[in-house]
């Protein structure tokens, strides 16, 4: 036996209803449907237009679908019996977004969207659930070991996405030649990784991604870096707080060629080298040896990671090096754009994802307290690993968690309040349809209106208005209404006046122009 609930709300104000009409809706139950979609609802409509919502619970046999106990509304029979007590916290590593958190999230996403719009990117999205094959790579990356993967009811291997890039590649491949290049897309989506939790790292996070496909030169990377810097500035963060470390996987590639490491090991070597700050140098060396990198080569590679200037890099790789040429051009363009002070060359930045082939970068807080704020790079060969043609591509992912920690630390979190223009309060229940009319007109004028939905005392209405920090309170009383007026109280100046509905709406319209 299981319990099922259905919920129906009905709206007031049906103009053609005779006054004081009483209607009873009865739902018909077919056994195949029964599944709890059972309800009996009655609605009283009258001059005062009462508004009601009923929930009715019925006991349904899970196999036959037959109702074994009639539904009982909470109004008549108290709350439904507790079926099973549950943990009120969300699963470990995940978050609820109650209104204050949600306001912050919406604000953050709005900044992401606004920056993307300024850079003429178009928004895209993909399913949170993808085929597991999209994320399975053999280079030993942490991300593939953290998949939330399972078999669905149809026996397909699926996974919650740990990142957005493979989905973007899939969509580009699906569009094929019909998609004109370059593509400039951004996305904001929830990603799932079974992570060990630290400050700013959780099992579910939202990522803002911007990607450019079809541009082989570092001009694309510079646009992306400029977008990141634009975002930081927009939320009040300066280059004193944050920097972006830049390198290129071509640095490692030329070292591997020099030490005759087989090209097939490139991605796996990058993934191991990326661990250099998380595990000991000895452990990194051991992992490199397992990949067939000889001791001398491993030493050479790890020593090269300490290089911190392009001149030094040039000394190591030679003037003809593609990596040096790209990086020099990138810094020179960033200088032209005016954000070179945000960038630092750091050969130790390799990034833990297998698919990067060129420039790699990571945003970091200069106090060194937080994990990477954002990260990205060039991945010119990802599409061919999915059976498509090699296509120049680069992009970044920017999480919602670390940036919020940083804004908190710097006292830069915005104070966000729900903004309410009017509270409409009928002083008598008989005026509820009229209150509905005033509310509708104000909303049509673009105002945010909270209509008091229950019969309440004036004192309560004032307290409520104060708590919501509403701007104005509109009181509907019979004597004012008979004169075609309402009483409007300005809640900051405390001034009040009786004005006609037309005047109120005209004022509301002008305030929103």
Q: Which is nearer to ligand HAM, 28 or 138 (CB)?
A: 138
Q: Does 360 bind ligand HAM (CB under 6 A)?
A: no
Position among 251, 267, 313, 374 found at the interface with ligand HAM (CB under 6 A): 374
CB of residue 301 to ligand HAM, shortest distance in Å: 21
CB of residue 287 to ligand HAM, shortest distance in Å: 20
CB of residue 93 to ligand HAM, shortest distance in Å: 8
Q: Which is nearer to ligand HAM, 235 or 505 (CB)?
A: 235
CB of residue 376 to ligand HAM, shortest distance in Å: 4
Close Cβ partners of 148 (under 8 Å, ≥ 6 residues apart): 159, 160, 162, 192, 193, 194
Residue 157's Cβ-side half-sphere holds a number of Cα atoms within 13 Å equal to 6
Respond yes or no on whether the N-terminal peptide bond of residue 248 is cis (omega within 30° of 0).
no
Question: For residue 447, what is the DSSP state?
Answer: -
Interaction residues for ligand HAM, span 266-325 (CB under 6 A): none
Q: Does 372 bind ligand HAM (CB under 6 A)?
A: yes
3-state helix, strand and coil shares in percent for the chain, rounded to the nearest 5 = 35, 25, 40
d(CA 206, CA 29): 42
CA distances from 505 to 428, 476, 489 (A): 22, 15, 15
Q: DSSP string spanning 171-209?
A: HHHHHGGGSPSSEEEEEEEEEE--PPPBTTB-SEEEEEE
> Which span sits near ligand HAM by CB under 6 A: 267-275, 295-303, 313-321, 389-397?
389-397
Q: Which is nearer to ligand HAM, 362 or 450 (CB)?
A: 362
Going by C-alpha positions, the residue among 219, 362, 248, 245 that lies closest to residue 316 is: 248
CB of residue 285 to ligand HAM, shortest distance in Å: 24
Pull the structure tokens for residue 474.
Answer: 């509109």
d(CA 451, CA 202): 39
Q: Which is nearer to ligand HAM, 200 or 426 (CB)?
A: 200
Are the C-beta atoms of 403 and 373 separated by less than 8 Å? yes
Site map (CB under 6 A) of ligand HAM, residues 391-420, x = contact: ----xxxxx-xx------------------
Position among 165, 226, 248, 357 found at the interface with ligand HAM (CB under 6 A): 165
d(CA 294, CA 278): 22
Site map (CB under 6 A) of ligand HAM, residues 220-259, x = contact: ----------------------------------------
206 is annotated as contributing to ligand binding: no
Going by C-alpha positions, the residue among 424, 469, 426, 422 that lies closest to residue 446 is: 422
> Which span sits near ligand HAM by CB under 6 A: 175-183, 239-247, 336-344, 370-378?
370-378
Are the C-beta atoms of 158 and 132 separated by less than 8 Å? yes
Count residues contacting ligand HAM (CB under 6 A)? 25
Q: Which is nearer to ligand HAM, 206 or 462 (CB)?
A: 206
d(CA 513, CA 503): 15
Position among 189, 376, 426, 436 found at the interface with ligand HAM (CB under 6 A): 376
207 is annotated as contributing to ligand binding: yes
d(CA 49, CA 45): 5
CB of residue 189 to ligand HAM, shortest distance in Å: 11
410 is annotated as contributing to ligand binding: no
Q: Which residue has the tokens 């319990």?
A: 3
d(CA 13, CA 107): 35
Position among 54, 161, 184, 193 found at the interface with ligand HAM (CB under 6 A): 193
End-to-end Cα separation, the chain, in angstroms: 57
Are the C-beta atoms of 383 and 389 separated by less than 8 Å? yes
CB of residue 210 to ligand HAM, shortest distance in Å: 8
Position among 61, 132, 195, 322 found at the interface with ligand HAM (CB under 6 A): 195
Close Cβ partners of 295 (under 8 Å, ≥ 6 residues apart): 285, 289
d(CA 398, CA 322): 28
> Which span sits near ligand HAM by CB under 6 A: 96-104, 123-131, 277-285, 390-398?
390-398
Site map (CB under 6 A) of ligand HAM, residues 324-353, x = contact: -----------------------------x
Site map (CB under 6 A) of ligand HAM, residues 199-218, x = contact: -xxx--x-x-x-x-------
Q: Which is nearer to ligand HAM, 169 or 442 (CB)?
A: 169
Close Cβ partners of 439 (under 8 Å, ≥ 6 residues apart): 424, 449, 451
355 is annotated as contributing to ligand binding: yes
Position among 375, 392, 426, 436 found at the interface with ligand HAM (CB under 6 A): 375
Q: Does 474 bind ligand HAM (CB under 6 A)?
A: no
SS (H, E, C) 202-261: CCEEEEEEEEEECCCCCHHHHHHHHHHHHHHHHCCCCCCCEEEEEEEHHHHHHHHHHCCC
Enumerate the known binding-site residues. 163-165, 193, 207, 211, 351, 355-356
Enumerate the known binding-site residues for L-histidine. 163-165, 193, 207, 211, 351, 355-356
**Binding-site ranges for ligand HAM (CB under 6 A):** 163, 165, 193, 195, 200-202, 205, 207, 209, 211, 353, 372-377, 395-399, 401-402
């Amino acid at each position: 036996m299981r319990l099922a609930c259905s919920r129906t709300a009905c709206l007031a104000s049906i103009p053609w209803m005779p006054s004081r009409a009483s209607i009873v809706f009865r739902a018909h139950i077919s056994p195949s449907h029964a599944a709890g979609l059972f309800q009996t609802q009655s609605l009283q409509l009258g001059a005062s237009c009462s508004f009601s919502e009923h929930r009715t619970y019925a006991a349904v046999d899970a196999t036959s679908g037959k109702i074994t106990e009639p539904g009982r509304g909470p109004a008549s029979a108290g709350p439904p019996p507790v079926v099973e007590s549950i943990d009120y916290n969300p699963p470990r590593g995940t978050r609820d977004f109650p209104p204050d958190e949600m306001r912050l999230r919406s604000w953050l996403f709005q900044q992401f969207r606004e920056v993307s719009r300024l850079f003429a990117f178009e928004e895209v999205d993909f399913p949170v659930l993808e085929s597991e094959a999209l994320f399975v790579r053999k280079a030993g990356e942490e991300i593939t070991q953290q998949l939330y993967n399972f078999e669905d009811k149809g026996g397909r291997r699926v996974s919650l996405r740990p990142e957005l890039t493979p989905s973007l590649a899939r969509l580009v491949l699906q569009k094929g030649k019909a998609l004109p290049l370059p593509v400039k897309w951004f996305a904001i989506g929830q990603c799932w990784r079974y992570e060990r939790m630290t400050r700013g790292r959780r099992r579910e996070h939202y990522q803002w991604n911007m990607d450019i496909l079809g541009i082989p030169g570092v001009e694309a990377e510079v646009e992306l870096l400029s977008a990141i810097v634009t975002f930081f500035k927009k939320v009040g963060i300066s280059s004193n707080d944050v920097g972006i470390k830049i390198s290129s996987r071509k640095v490692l590639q030329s070292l591997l060629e020099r030490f005759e490491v087989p090209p097939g090991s490139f991605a796996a070597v990058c993934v191991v080298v990326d661990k250099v700050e998380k595990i000991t140098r000895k452990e990194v060396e051991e992992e490199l040896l397992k990949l067939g990198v000889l001791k001398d080569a491993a030493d050479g590679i790890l020593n090269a990671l300490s290089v911190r200037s392009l001149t030094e890099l040039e000394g190591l790789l030679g003037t003809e090096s593609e990596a040096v040429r790209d990086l020099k051009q990138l810094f020179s363009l960033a200088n032209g754009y005016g954000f070179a002070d945000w960038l630092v060359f750091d050969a130790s930045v390799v990034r833990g994802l297998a698919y990067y082939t060129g420039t790699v970068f990571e945003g970091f807080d200069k106090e060194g307290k937080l994990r990477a704020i954002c990260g990205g790079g060039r991945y010119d060969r990802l599409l061919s690993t999915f059976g498509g043609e090699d296509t120049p591509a680069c992009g970044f992912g920017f999480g919602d968690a670390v940036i919020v920690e940083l804004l908190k630390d710097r006292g830069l979190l915005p104070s966000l309040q729900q903004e309410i223009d009017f509270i409409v309060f009928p002083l008598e229940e008989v005026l509820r349809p009229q209150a509905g009319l005033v509310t509708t007109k104000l909303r049509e004028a673009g105002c945010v209106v909270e209509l008091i939905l229950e019969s309440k005392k004036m004192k309560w209405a004032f307290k409520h208005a104060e708590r919501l920090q509403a701007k104005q309170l509109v009181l509907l009383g019979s004597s004012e209404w008979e004169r075609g007026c309402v009483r409007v109280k300005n809640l900051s100046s405390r001034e009040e006046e009786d004005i006609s509905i037309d005047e109120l709406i005209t004022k509301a319209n002008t305030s929103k122009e």
